[in-house]
Structure 1
Amino acid sequence: MTPNKPWLANYPTGVPKTIDPDKYSSIMELYEECFDRFRMQPMTICMGVTHTYDDVDKASLAVAAWLQAQGLPLGSVVALMMPNVPQYLPTMIGILRAGYICTPVNPLYTGRELRHQLNDSGAQVIFVVDNFAQALEQVIEETHIKRIVLSKMGDMMGLKGILVNTIIRQVKRLIPKYNLNDPKYGVTKFPDMLKKGKNLPFQNPKLSLDQTAFLQYTGGTTGLSKGAILSQRNIVAGAMQSEAWTRPITSEINEVYINMVMALPLYHIFAFMLSSLGMRAGYTFILIPNPRDIPGFVKTLSKQPFHIFPAVNTLFKGLLDNPNFKNLDFSSLRISQAGGMAATEQT
């Protein structure tokens, strides 16, 4: 043990002292390894609809091919403004796969906040769910956005998605009115983009760990939100570190698939890094599009075992205040992880 690293003596059994992100040539090599290893395993479950690693692989290829056909130079920035829906991860991976930089956007941003991130990042394309299209419409003229891919919540949920979209629009009325029909906005519907992308050629770009993968914006609590530049090596190293620390615990799970509750928003760095860790280990993500709906969240948790449960303190507290939460079956739970803020002793 090196004398200037005394903390290594306190590492739990089974956790390696170091990792080597340079075993991968790019972030896509890591993702493609995950797709090959876990191809037919479930990768996401959302509102009862399951997508395998193979489904996500193919959808991300379609996204990548469509993006390349837009003629964007390598290294262009693409914004992703979605909650935790099945199309999030294929879109994110497709952006990276095409050789572009992803900037995840908080869907709850006001027009002012959205304008700042789009202009500061230089994003030229945005993928957005129609629940949040009104905010985009307010600022689109003041940005560099050349293409919009407009998605509905249920676009990757098959027949169930038609019902989901109808309830969201007609019953719950969760979609503020917007008008982005002008051809100058270059709007493509998400299903049309996928259909076109599947029939377009894909060119594997030359990627490296030194290239920028993400412009991850801070919360803006001390002023304007700032774009942290994350290289592909940053993401690969984070995924390998996280997996190294959880492996001694998850290796003891005897159930067929390891389920991770994904209620934290994927646009946030905490949840995104958990998704990279989970992919590397072949987890299934239980996607929660709206964690603020605590009764609905608890109902979702009652439908399948869950092994890893990351959240922030306010979300844990909200669940603890729900009378049905204590009735859930916690027998499969192995890891609870709090982050983003201090977890109170009471929680």
Structure 2
Amino acid sequence: MQESFWADKYPEGIPAEINPDQYPNVLAVLKESCERFADKPAFTNLGKTITWGEMYRLSGEFAAYLQTHAGLQPGDRIAVQLPNVLQYPIVVFGAMRAGYVVVNTNPLYTAREMEHQFNDSGAKALVCLANMAHLAEQVVPRTGVKHVIVTEVGDMLPPVKRLLVNTVVKRVKKMVPAFNIPGAVPFVKALKAGAACSLREASPGAEDTAVLQYTGGTTGVAKGAMLTHRNLIANMLQCKVMMPSNMREGEEVIICPLPLYHIYAFTFHCMAVMMLGGHNILITNPRDIPATVKDMARQRFSTFVGLNTLFAALCNNEQFRQLDFSGMKLTLSGGMALQQATAERWHKVTGCEISEGYGMTETSPVVSVNPADAVQVGTIGIPVPSTLCKVVDDDGRELGIGERGELCVKGPQVMKGYWQRPEATDEVLDAEGWLRTGDIAIIQEDGYMRIVDRKKDMIVVSGFNVYPNELEDVMAAIPGVLQCAAIGVPNEKTGEAIKVFIVKEPGAQLNAEEVRSHMRDKLTAYKVPKEVEFRDSLPTTNVGKILRRELRDEELKKLGAA
């Protein structure tokens, strides 16, 4: 679909275009926002709040330390392996201000995954949480990392509380395995040293890489998407203009349960919310639902950013249902398909519709979103401004309205390419700047889009295409279903047969025949599963996305063993 098709698809008040060259780099946005909202709260965690002004000062001190003591050169990569704690934005913006490239790293990575990412990125420095420093101890000698900074959970708290929290985490909860990394520097010592040094503010170009953001690794070897300063500026501007018109600068409180090292949360909370001057409530462990609800109860919040599994889990919590939702203006969903049953229940509990969006690591990440005042449940909304989308067949030919094909995206938020992988880049990014997403989509006449499924997740039953999202949406509406997934398994008669996995709500009485009966009522015969398996849990990524690939691999292993 060309520009003329998309030009009139935006609701009143949302421009069709943004200017990605409005700022020379992310640091210019940071400086402007931190000065403008200097006295406004920026991040809260463990009961401690820092303002945007304080965050700018602290990130400057950390940047000065890196320039003076870390032995790094401009453009060097620094791995940041932190959960949602106050140290995260200080470290990330500090690294950028010092002139280095941030490599966001999952704190739950295994030693093997860390070693791959550190070596692939060529990271020269690492900032990690003490809780996983024992893994860094194993990995660092096998990488090019020369400088390690270790922080503890409570390091940003006042001295007495810091000592108490860090002691409890280490001695009582025993969450910090012993480690010994020669030359490692404590974060608090680095900050103190940096305060005594002068900073030479970096001035990177718009096309310089700001972040190496690694893909999840669920589709093969993890690759580093090179996201430039211009990419990030474009996407933060695109996100900001799509926010509801009643969002007020310097006043909004945003719940942040998804990990900041993930591109979805990184761009929204650290970038778009920075432009808004919003107040991020950092949830360190969203899997602890009671603790998450307790954190939410302390603030009258206006925005919640999550994904399907988290929405469902929260709605099942009695304390969550009793929270004050009167200030809610926006709920955003991404990372996995939003099921209609979940969307309806969230709306019933909170009074706020979920605006589902779509994106990829390679697109910084937001491609499209449902405008908050014009939500179509079951779609991923319309492309954000300055973004073109089209669907193509297997031969790359563009398809028409209502036809199923692979979604392709073009816009200023599309990555520069994969780090040191030109062949992999060429597979997904053409000379005109179109990125092949690997997702099967339909573009509607009104510009709203629907993701049918991942191309590789499609199930073929007797020549008929079956899309797991559709099956899961139907299953999610069955009373007693908490989580569900559908995959294809080899079958002699039909090529593939459908197998579904279900996690039941506590106390729910549900059997396989009831599941099939319900699905038989909603779907054509070839879409009804041959097998139904009940489980206590399903494999998920760290942000809660169900891993169908792992389920398929398990089934193939069983067949191989048989």
TM-score by length of 1: 0.95
* Contact 2:148-2:185 within 8 A present in 1 as well: yes
* Contact 2:15-2:241 within 8 A present in 1 as well: yes
Task: State the distance in 1 between where 2:24 and 2:3 align.
Answer: 30
Query: Alpha-carbon deviation of 1:343?
Result: 1.0
**Amino acid in the other structure paired with 1:117:** Q
Q: Of the candidates 264, 273, 293, which is equivalent to residue 270 of structure 1? A: 264
* Uncovered stretches (5+) of structure 2, i.e. residues with no partner: 343-562
- Of residues 21-30 and 112-121 in structure 1, the stretch that sits farther from structure 2 once superposed is 21-30
Render the CA deviation track for 1:325-347: whole Å, top value 9, x for unaligned.
10111111111111001011121
Q: 1:211 — aligned with what?
A: 208
Render the CA deviation track for 1:278-327: whole Å, top value 9, x for unaligned.
00000000011111111100011111111110111111122122221101
Task: State the distance in 2 between where 1:161 and 1:291 align.
Answer: 22
Paired residues for 1:280-295 under 5 Å = 280-295=275-290
* Contact 2:304-2:331 within 8 A present in 1 as well: yes
Task: State the distance in 2 between where 1:178 and 1:227 align.
Answer: 28
Secondary structure in structure 1 of the residue aligned to 2:188: helix
**Amino acid in the other structure paired with 2:64:** A
Task: State the distance in 2 between where 1:206 and 1:36 align.
Answer: 18
Secondary structure in structure 2 of the residue aligned to 1:156: coil
Match status 1:133 vs 2:133? yes
Task: State the distance in 2 between where 1:221 and 1:291 align.
Answer: 22
Q: 1:75 — aligned with what?
A: 75
**Amino acid in the other structure paired with 2:81:** M
Task: State the distance in 2 between where 1:3 and 1:179 align.
Answer: 57
Task: State the distance in 1 between where 2:310 and 2:178 align.
Answer: 30
Task: State the distance in 1 between where 2:91 and 2:4 align.
Answer: 40
Task: State the distance in 1 between where 2:341 and 2:163 align.
Answer: 42
Task: State the distance in 2 between where 1:301 and 1:4 align.
Answer: 42
Task: State the distance in 1 between where 2:187 and 2:30 align.
Answer: 23
Match status 1:225 vs 2:222? yes
* Contact 1:15-1:248 within 8 A present in 2 as well: no
Paired residues for 1:27-38 under 5 Å = 27-38=26-37
Query: Alpha-carbon deviation of 1:7?
Result: 2.6
Task: State the distance in 1 between where 2:210 and 2:169 align.
Answer: 33
* Contact 1:129-1:153 within 8 A present in 2 as well: yes
**Number of residue pairs matched by the alignment:** 339
Match status 1:330 vs 2:322? no
Task: State the distance in 2 between where 1:157 and 1:167 align.
Answer: 14
Render the CA deviation track for 1:199-237: whole Å, top value 9, x for unaligned.
111112232111100000010001111100000000000
Q: 2:8 — aligned with what?
A: 9
Secondary structure in structure 2 of the residue aligned to 1:21: coil
**Amino acid in the other structure paired with 1:102:** V
Q: 2:245 — aligned with what?
A: 248
Secondary structure in structure 1 of the residue aligned to 2:242: helix
Secondary structure in structure 2 of the residue aligned to 1:44: strand
* Contact 2:244-2:330 within 8 A present in 1 as well: no
Paired residues for 1:41-120 under 5 Å = 41-69=40-68, 70-120=70-120
The percentage of aligned residue pairs carrying the same residue is: 39
Pick 1 or 2: higher relative contact order, CA cutoff 8 A, min separation 6: 1
- Of residues 171-180 and 21-30 in structure 1, the stretch that sits farther from structure 2 once superposed is 171-180
Closer, same or farther: CA 125–56 of 1 in aligned 2, 3 Å: same
Match status 1:176 vs 2:146? no
Task: State the distance in 2 between where 1:257 and 1:164 align.
Answer: 30
Task: State the distance in 2 between where 1:21 and 1:45 align.
Answer: 30
Query: Alpha-carbon deviation of 1:156?
Result: 0.6
* Contact 2:59-2:91 within 8 A present in 1 as well: yes
**Amino acid in the other structure paired with 1:285:** N
Render the CA deviation track for 1:109-131: whole Å, top value 9, x for unaligned.
00000100000000000010101
Query: Alpha-carbon deviation of 1:170?
Result: 2.0
* Contact 1:13-1:248 within 8 A present in 2 as well: no
Secondary structure in structure 1 of the residue aligned to 2:8: helix
* Contact 2:111-2:136 within 8 A present in 1 as well: yes
**Amino acid in the other structure paired with 2:19:** D
Task: State the distance in 1 between where 2:34 and 2:85 align.
Answer: 19
Task: State the distance in 1 between where 2:340 and 2:329 align.
Answer: 20
Task: State the distance in 2 between where 1:26 and 1:121 align.
Answer: 22
Match status 1:296 vs 2:295? no
Query: Alpha-carbon deviation of 1:250?
Result: 1.1
Query: Alpha-carbon deviation of 1:148?
Result: 0.4
Structure having the higher strand fraction is: 2
Secondary structure in structure 2 of the residue aligned to 1:324: helix
Query: Alpha-carbon deviation of 1:247?
Result: 4.8
Query: Alpha-carbon deviation of 1:47?
Result: 1.8
Task: State the distance in 1 between where 2:257 and 2:217 align.
Answer: 22
* Contact 1:40-1:52 within 8 A present in 2 as well: yes
* Contact 1:86-1:157 within 8 A present in 2 as well: no
Secondary structure in structure 1 of the residue aligned to 2:7: helix
Query: Alpha-carbon deviation of 1:3?
Result: 7.3
Secondary structure in structure 2 of the residue aligned to 1:10: coil
Task: State the distance in 2 between where 1:51 and 1:113 align.
Answer: 32
* Contact 2:96-2:202 within 8 A present in 1 as well: no
Q: 2:154 — aligned with what?
A: 154
**Amino acid in the other structure paired with 2:314:** L
Render the CA deviation track for 1:239-262: whole Å, top value 9, x for unaligned.
0000011052414x9xx7210111
Task: State the distance in 2 between where 1:247 and 1:213 align.
Answer: 28
* Contact 1:131-1:174 within 8 A present in 2 as well: yes
